[in-house]
Amino acid sequence: MAISGGLAARWEIDLFGGRHLEAEAAIAQSAGTEEALRAVQVGLLAQVATNYLELQGLQKRISLLQENIAVQKEKLRTLQLFAKNGLATEADVANQKTLVETTESALPLLTSAASTLSHRISVLLGEPPAKLETRLSQAASLAVTLPEIPKLLPTDLLSQRPDLRLAKTEVTAAAANLGAARADLFPKLALSASGGFGALAVGGFSSLTESVYTLGSGLTMPLFNAGRIRAHIAAVDARLDQAALSYEKTFLLALEDVENAFVSHTSSKVRKKQLSDAEKSAQKAYQATDALYQRGVKDYLSLLDARRNTVTVGDEKIKAETAMGVSIVSLYRAFGGGWESGAARPAENDGIVKKNSTVINQN
């Protein structure tokens, strides 16, 4: 019984780096996919944190609003008693009733907004809204000490932004693709090897009787495909220009994002400080009015007005605290995930890859 087999192989010698650049482009595209995934992860975490902070703020505001409504109703009840005894007019009662109804009208809006945020958080966490409703229905105490913002230029941490790193990998891949396309203009040297063997089997055993390998070389030139190759080069060159412009745009948008986050954080920090001082003043005014009321110097309506002012300022302070927390989350997102030392991942390719330094010069 005779058995025969054959082997044929062909290798192309990468004299001008075309295959190497194709591999470089594939690696850059793979890195770009990872950066796209990281961008989604950073955005998701930032969105969850933002929505949770806003939900906490709304829940605290709802509690204060309910207290404000109670104070307003108590003042209305007092004015109604005063009106019966000739100490207040019907106009005073009507005005206070209008204020009570206006204050109450804000409650459904805040409650609806809180429910919407609760549902959004549930979806972002991949849970049915009903499952997290109990856990999210109560306002939890948040950390009093907020992270310190480093005194750095906005560009110091931009290298870890996923969108910027993704744009950089697109430039790298486009530059490598252009180099590979230009390499097609040069001649290609190919090596080929072929081998075969035949064998006779005796008594069920086979023996190798012959083994022959031949080695040859071939040289190919793009004589008739040069026009097509040059058209392909022009197309890839245009894609590189587009990638470079996209990187520049992404970089400018990143700067804008960071600058806006810094401005928002600074303004919210100043506003929170001002409202904290205003709340302390309102508390002192309420305590002083209460002391005068206890001595009979101030009437009950003045005490209720002082309490209402305290609640109103407290509501504004909660909004400022929420805005400040959200601004810190925005800074985390603007820096691609924070600013801890060593948090930035080392860039595989620093800076924009220049076209003429990466690709093969046609001349």
Output the domain CATH number for residue 141. 1.20.1600.10
Total count of domains within the chain: 1
Cα Rg, the chain, nearest whole Å: 37
Complete DSSP assignment for 256-298? HHHHHHHHHHHHHHHHHHHHHHHHHHHHHHHHHHHHHHHTTSS
pLDDT for 345 beyond 50: no
Does the pTM surpass 0.75? The reply is no
Q: How confident is the model at residue 209, as a pLDDT?
A: 39
Q: How confident is the model at residue 186, as a pLDDT?
A: 56
Compute the average pLDDT of residues 210-226. 49
In a domain, 255, yes or no: yes
pLDDT for 107 beyond 60: yes
Q: How confident is the model at residue 22, as a pLDDT?
A: 59
Higher pLDDT, 199 or 46: 46
In a domain, 307, yes or no: yes
Domain holding 36, by residue range, is: 2-357
Q: How confident is the model at residue 143, as a pLDDT?
A: 56
Residue 24 CA neighbour count, 13 Å, CB half: 20
Higher pLDDT, 286 or 350: 286
Q: How confident is the model at residue 178, as a pLDDT?
A: 67
pLDDT for 232 beyond 60: yes
In a domain, 363, yes or no: no
Higher pLDDT, 126 or 17: 126
Give the Cα separation of 164 and 347 in Å (integer).
11
Compute the average pLDDT of residues 329-343. 72
From residue 239, alpha-carbon distances to 36, 165, 174 in Å are 19, 18, 7
Higher pLDDT, 240 or 74: 74
Q: How confident is the model at residue 139, as a pLDDT?
A: 59
In a domain, 362, yes or no: no
Q: Max alpha carbon distance in the chain (Å)?
A: 131
